[in-house]
Structure 1
Amino acid sequence: MTVEQTGGGMADDRAAIAGIVRTFFAAFTSGADCAARLDALRQVFLPEAVIIRTCGGEPVVYGVDGFIAPRRKLLTDGTLTDFREWEVSGRTEIFGDIAQHFCEYAKAGVQNGVGFTGRGMKTLQFVRTSAGWRISAAAWDDEREGLAIG
């Protein structure tokens, strides 16, 4: 079942959410302007947003700053180079002032001198605020032994 509103605002909502998704993935790219891209995440998250990594273990729950800080370190201290994450495919559903984006993503880079690639799924939950759409929650899980994207 797909639930969404109709009317002229839908295209604007979709465009705004798509822009936030691009900002989210762009933040996880090493190299020039990495710090600025990570700082941009604070503008697209609610300050109280919850971010959760599952990946086969006990879920790890982050606040916005607790999520950004270790990624900033990895992406800027030389541990993780030539890294990027990107959306492979996804879909957005909107109803009134809430929305969700569920997507497949891929990543590639070099960590401690060893190249790697990976894929997984992410879900981003959005709410409309007086300042526009913001991410209220995010969660992800990565492929691993026994769990593959179909």
Structure 2
Amino acid sequence: MCAVTSDATATTTATTTTASDRAEVLKIVDAFFGAFVSGPGCGERMDGLRALLLPQAVVVRTCGLEPAVMGVEDFIAPREALLTGGTLEHFREWPVEGRVEVFGDIAHWFGSYAKAGTQDGEPFTGRGMKTIQLVRTAGGWRISAAAWDDERDGVELPPV
């Protein structure tokens, strides 16, 4: 509850959802995916990603394994090393289809994504689903949590 009136009925102090809230959330989602591109400018993209995340944000990878729960640097550092290490080339991730829900000062994006690149000289592609939770702060919308699961035997997205 954000506030309680004297007669114990709940009221909210959150601002009304607007089209600009949805647009800002989508802009952040696009920037999140846009950070994962190999090649020049990776350091700047990772710094941009850090700015999108709350310092205490949690990121979880499932992918049929025991969930890996990461803080911001535990998530970013190995990805930055992979994207700049030379074994992963022409890599990028992008959102395919998703939906945004906003209520007051919380928001959520849930959708499918795709990725493609060349690792150790071998081209690859992949798809999966991501969930990104956001909160409104004094500095604007920030990611508070994200989780993803990729396709694998028995867990597949419908064909596009």
TM-score (norm 1): 0.93
Aligned match of 1:138: 146
SS at match of 1:55: coil
Measured after TM superposition, the shift of residue 32 of structure 1 is 1.9
Number of aligned positions between the proteins: 145
Identity over the aligned pairs, expressed in percent? 61
The residue that corresponds to 1:38 in the other structure is: 46
Which residue of 58, 68, 76 corresponds with 1:60? 68
Contact 2:33 2:94 (8 Å CA) reproduced = yes
The yes-or-no answer on 1:91 pairing with 2:102 is no
Tell me how large the CA RMSD over aligned residues is.
1.4
Unmatched runs of 5 consecutive residues or more in structure 1: none
- Residue type of the partner of 2:41? D
1:76 partner amino acid = T
Structure 1 segments of 4+ aligned residues over 6 angstroms from their partners? none
Amino acid at match of 1:127: V
Cα distance in 2, alignment partners of residues 65 and 137 from structure 1: 13
Q: What's the CA shift string for 1:89-119, capped at 9, x where partnerless?
A: 1100000110100010000001111110000
Q: Structure 2 length normalisation: TM-score?
A: 0.87
Among 102, 114, 125, the alignment partner of 1:117 is 125
2:10 corresponds in structure 1 to: none
CA distance in 2, matches of 1:89, 1:6: 27
1:11 to 19, 39, 44: 19
Q: Which residue number corresponds to residue 9 of structure 2?
A: none
Structure 2: give runs of 5+ residues left out of the alignment. Answer: 1-13
**1:9-39, Cα deviation, whole Å (9 max, x unpaired):** 5111111111111110010011121111111
Say whether the 8 Å CA contact 2:105–2:135 is kept in structure 1: yes
> How many angstroms does 1:6 deviate by?
9.3
